[in-house]
């Protein structure tokens, strides 16, 4: 299963960002473990250049410094595995 999406940007409220993440988590958890899930997305966050505890999730191919949205995305994905 492949999904594409774009996360709310900086001009959205924190409530709208939270709702997006909650809906994405609900959709992802509905995919049976027997299927592969690929999310092609612009999450409007920076995961940074270093895995820093997210090895196995973060491939080390990011750039810059991790921001709040990037941390939240990594935490969400870590909860799926």
pLDDT of amino acid 60 = 81
* Backbone dihedral angles phi then psi of residue 26, each to the nearest 5 degrees: -60, -45
Residue 3, in any domain of the structure: no
Sequential pLDDT tens for the chain (81 residues): 666 777 777 788 889 888 988 888 888 888 888 888 777 767 777 888 988 888 888 888 888 899 888 888 888 888 877
Q: How many domains does the chain have?
A: 1
Distance CA(37)–CA(53), nearest Å, equals 22
pLDDT of amino acid 14 = 86
Q: Show the CA angle centred on residue 44, arms to residues 18 and 75, nearest 5°.
A: 55
Residue 55, in any domain of the structure: yes
Residue 63, in any domain of the structure: yes
Strand partners, 38: 2
Containing structural domain, residue 62: 46-81
Beta strands in the chain (DSSP E): 2-6, 38-42
């Amino acid at each position: 299963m492949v999904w594409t999406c774009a996360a709310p940007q900086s001009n959205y409220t924190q409530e709208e960002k939270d709702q997006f993440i909650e809906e994405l988590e609900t959709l992802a958890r509905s995919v049976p473990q027997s299927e592969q899930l690929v999310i092609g997305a612009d999450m409007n966050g920076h995961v940074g250049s270093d895995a820093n505890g997210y090895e196995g999730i973060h491939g080390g191919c990011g750039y810059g410094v991790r921001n709040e949205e990037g941390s939240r995305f990594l935490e969400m994905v870590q909860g799926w595995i």
